Each structure stands twice: as structure tokens, then as C-alpha cells.
Chains A and B, each alone.
Chain A
């Protein structure tokens, strides 16, 4: 409860901060302090210390899993603001409003991590998406940003329409705005969904796939991520995407077998996972722009995160939390470096190791973590995902295909490392301060720390 209220209030405060504070960096500092407060309020809320408690009539359910994810999302946003706050100020003149929208997105994140029932799921998704449409078009004079914004908006509201139709059909069939209320067959005593409910669940599944950019509903992702201002792409690709997965996992937690008897659900998911991995990895190989490559790589990472849905057990829940941490840290770091580069192509990174050794070494750690190399957090994240699927009885072929695609991903991540270390060039970068370097080193250190002791994240989860 704390997280939802505090993030909403902070959003309103940030909206008015532009009137009081004329200095842009003061607004960034205010946002960082606000995020710290939000994080503390959420941690207090996790241990039952609530400032305000409201009877939500069972529409929200606060449990450890969601609350802990809130902490991860808020901490990642705090790191993001500390790293890229200066670049965010340069996007346009409305710095206070950008932060206000980010806080409203975080309000959506905390609703998505605690919804109980489809009404709150719908509201959470919308509170999350609508500010993002605006942030995508934040660069008002840039045609690419305009285009990305319109595309994101039209696709997003289209998928909302599909989701609402799914919710309505489920309601019509069962009388509840929730999964798991299928009518009981008198002869066998087991629950069996009617045709109307199966159609509804499929529509809901499709629209959730759309929100987390899983194939075959991924087509908007590269264009939107590429066109949006890089600062906001960084936020969209990390915190927002991870929270989409938390909502997905919580929604289909224990449900899904209602689709039909036998392996229907795992067959459907298996198809989506393989399609997502295939599209994301193979297309990423052919990209010339690092930003666009990262957009496709985020589709590929979504394929791995879908294994949490496949596994649907305790291991999967631990895994998706670990994956969120590893993926958010690494992607925020890479984007922070990318924003400072003048040239977004692979060639733009040529010779970075000579001119900016700290950027090069930390970028290498982030890329290795995304590729899932041992000793980085990304390795254990991928390991937990695959282990949960195996534990849930996944076909060995599915796991082998996933590992092969992880190997493919090494190719395009290493192209950046190769450009930085083994090619000559004089990469032009924006001025880079000591604080920025220190933050990058801190994040790289965290990635290695969680790579050696993944139990630190999971220990905090069970504490």
C-alpha cells in the first residue's frame, strides 16, 4: 500500500517542482531523494509497517514476491536516475514532468505487483502505459520520436482493447473478474473451462505477450525502442518490461491448465518461447545500430524470462526476481554508456578502450552479464530460469534450443566488445564526469557480486 500511495504523491509533487525549482539539476536531485523515500517506504511496507492502511476489498493482495519486486524496481530506477539524470535533463525543457511521469509509471508497477483480480490488472497496465506513450514522444521536434510515440500508442491501445475483450469473455463465462473460477463438471469433480472462457484466456494471454514484447506480438518493440529518446528507452526496456513479466507470472500463477486438458498450455508457451528467442536473437545479429541491437536483445531476453511462466514454481519466482536484477542493472548500464556516445553504430565504439578505459571495462561486464557468462549475475538468472522449466517437466529440447540461442546472443554482444578493444578509432563521447564513472563501477561490481553470490538477492527475498 505504501508504495502505491507514496509513488502517486511523489508524482504530483514532481509535477509542481518545475514551478518552484528553476534549476534542472535540483529537480533531478529531488527525484533521487523521492525515489530513496519510495524505496524506504516500500521496504517498511514489506515488513508490515504501513503509514496508511486502506481496506481494498480484496482487490489488491500484498505478498512478499510483489513487494520485493517493487524494491528491485525502485532501486533500479534510483540507479537509473543517478546515472542518466543529467542526460534526461537534456531531452527537453520539461524535466519535472518527465520525473512525474516516471513516478506514475512506478505507481503502475506497484499496482501490477499486487493486483488481485483482472480489474486491477487492467488499471495497473494502463497507469503503466499511458505515461510511457508521452515519454516516448518527449523529443517533440524529432520525427522519429513522434513516430515511435504514435506507433506505441496505437499498438498499445489496440492490445488494451484485446485484453478487455478477454477479460469480458472470462467474466461472462464465470461471473468473476479473476482466473480460476471455471465451473465444476459434476461427473468428475474437476474444473473445466467453457469455450467462452478459453477464448477469453487466449485473448488475455495474447495481450500480455504484447505488453512484454514476446513473439509473435513483438513487432512494435524495435521501432519504439529505437525511436524513443535513449534515456527513456533505457527505462522502458528495464523496469517496465520486468514489471510486465511480474504481472504475467502473477496472473497465470497456478492457472493456465484451464485452457484444456493435457499439455495445451505448455505447448502454447513453448511455441511462444521458441518464436521469441528465434526472432530476437537472429534479427539482432544483423543490426548495425547498437541501440536497435539492444531492442532486439530485449526481445531475446523476454524469451528467457518467459521460462518463469513455463516453470511456474518457487524456483521460477526466485529466478524471475534474479533475472530482473541482472537484466535491469546490465541494461541500464549499457544504455547509460550508449547515451554518451555520439555514434550509435557498432563502429562508433571502435577504440573506446584506449580513450575511455573505465567505460570500456564496465560495458564489457554489462554485456557479459546479458550474454549469461559465468561469474556475472546474468549466468545465474538464466540458470534459474532453465532449472525451473526442467523441474516443471519441460521437454529437454526446449532447454537445448534456449541454450543454443544463448550462444547465438554471445555473437552480437561480443561484437561491441570487439569494437571497443580490438579496433582502432577515435570514438567521440559527451563529457564524462568522475561521478558517472564511479556509478558505472558500482553497478559492474554489483553484477559480479550477484554473479558470485546470487543468494544475496534471494536471501533478501526470504528474509
Chain B
């Protein structure tokens, strides 16, 4: 590719207000039209800061001190956000926290409306963007009914409609299924063909093979590696694991079906039927499965197949219309299952309540556990998850990776006979993902049972032992 240069950064440094340490320190790179740059690195390495500088939020939204040279689409920066936003479109990690309108076409048109684009021109651009993303059938749909993948396409369509020359994507695959991730790779390739420069900030690397033209690896705000060329990712070198990155070559693991597992089962789901109300169709009808003891069973299936519903049924948060769920051969009521099962949900913030990490762990311990046992368990899990130095910190002041580890630690504090985890590693770097995989393996090898819902192929290949297929 030899398009014109749209981003030119030289010695870019940034320090947040009231912080002594630079969040970004002397970063340089260039990006041309039709190229894709992958920015990666461990949690807290400065990826998000770079993204905020590129889309103009620094320094207009986030104050602080910006040094070095930066030129975006020919504009010397810092330039007013008003001007930068005409060139740069951003796709945030959680599209639902970015969508402001209530229908797809309204969302796609929103930025154009507030730029006072004439209606006919706007309608043409909205239609073209929806067609480019292959979602014209969703135009009038309410955003509340969209899947994660569809919501992300809607946000990307709004960027395409705004004719942004630069598209910045923050952790775009964190909530996507492998199929939706493949779709996203195709969309990025098509954006490049249309002449856009794409900056992708992500931990997951495998999907960008053949898509990323440049790779920038950050560590502590500094450039740890900068590789250019079509095979930039492959040339990144074998030292990648050492800096906490994820793997480049990931295959969907071949797992044994739970039906074929011959060993003893810990949980038996027997002829369970469930639907949300009498007016809605059945999600499960006479569904049966056995979860092997000491196994890590991955629930696989397309979006909307009812994976989370199955988790909630097993946990006792939903009651089946018929059928029963037995633990160790003993059918248990929903209330008893809630006592015996630990459930790690996707959303971290709503699972943390106390003033310190230690109190949070203490609150998770089963009632009736002696004080000494509590302290022993607390120490064990604080050490296992590398949280010991954070024991007196407020849980909500932790980084995303630390919070995710804390929530899994809280689940283990409960001493459950079954652990259910829903996307426990989305948005985690390689190091944190491996910590969670290791702990799950240890828990399973000591006789625990795990039900794992995840789109993370690396976690599956590292930890899962069985698969349970659910169909739509």
C-alpha cells in the first residue's frame, strides 16, 4: 500500500493530570490510507491512551500534558475535537455504551444529523453504510433487540457513513463469537480497500493475521516492538509470550463431547424444559446432559442459542418448567443450587460491593466457615491471583484484569462444587488469561467441576476438557 500518510506520530508522550509517570512515552509511527495498525501490549501499557490521543479526546476531554509531534489527516495536533472527529471514527469496546440512538438507522445517521448534513445526502450515506456492512435489513430495528455482533456492525456503519478516513477500534473482539470475529476481519479488510486507515487496539492477535500491516507493541507506555509489512504479526517474534501477549496461531480446539465422557458425572441435567413465559417459545425442551467431575466443560453454540440461560438454570437463578438438575445424584432445588454453585458473570462492576479486596473475599466465603479457614482461603486466593499487594485497595479502583481475577477469586472463596463462568477472560491480556486458565485447571484437578461459556479460543485450548453443544 502506498496511500497518503494520514497519521504521523513522532516522539508522542502524554501524562494524565495529577500523575507523575508518563502514560505514553516517545511513541512514533506512521499510517497510510488503506493500512491497518495493530496496537497491543499488556494491560496498562498505554494502548487506550494512544487511542484517546488519536481520536482527539486527549486533550479536549482528558486534560494533561501532551508532547511530541502528531499530525492527523494533515491537521497538526492537538486540534479541536470538532475537526478531529471529522477525520476519525471510533468503535469502543462495548458498543452498547456507545450507541445513543434507539434504532439502527438513527444511530448510523446521528453524527451526520449533528453536522447538519442535508437530508437526501444523509439518507444516501446511511443506506450505503448499511449495505457496506451487509445490514440493510436491520435499518428500522430497535437497538435493544440486536446481538453484540450486530451492535458492533451498527457502530462501524455509523463510522462508515461519516466517511471517516481513520477508524480506531478499541478491543473490538472482546465480546464477539469466533464467527463474528471472522466477520470483523472481513470488515476491516473492506475498510482498507475503501481507503480508510484502521487502528486496532486489541489483545487478541490471531484474527488479524493477513489484516494488520503494522504492529506496535507497547510496554509501560514505551515502544517494545514496531514491525511493518504484510506479515508483520508473524514477524513479531517468539519473545511475545514474555511480554504478556496472546498467541498468534490459535485453532479451535477439538474437545470431547460430554456425551462421550465415560467418567463419573458431578452434575446431571435431566429432561429440562424452559421458556421465559407461556407466550415465548421454548429455549430448552427435554434437554439432558452430564457434566463430568473434574472436567472443564465448554458450552459452545451460536449467539442466542441459550448458553447463558443454561448457566442460569444450572445456578438456580431460573427455574425449569419441567425436569430436574442433580448434583452427585441428588436432585437440588434452585435455592440449594445457588448455595452450591459459584457464578462468574460477564459484567465485573455489578459483582463487587465492599470497601476493600479483602472484605470482598470475606463476603464471598460461605456462612458458617470459621475465621481461621476464611483467612487461610483469603491468603490462598490472593496469592494465586497475584492480588496480595492489593488486599487493602478498593475493588473498584483495580484495573480491568485485576477486577476479573478478583471476581474469580471470590467465586472460589465460596468453595463451590460447581463453578460457572461466563466470558471470564474478555478483554484480558495473555498473562491474565493464562492465570485464570491455570487456576481453573487446578480447581478441576482437585475434583471441582467447571462449566465455561466463552468465545475465547485461547482459553478453550488452554483449559477446556469437554464440550457441550447447544443449538438455537
Q: Do chains A and B interact in one complex?
A: no
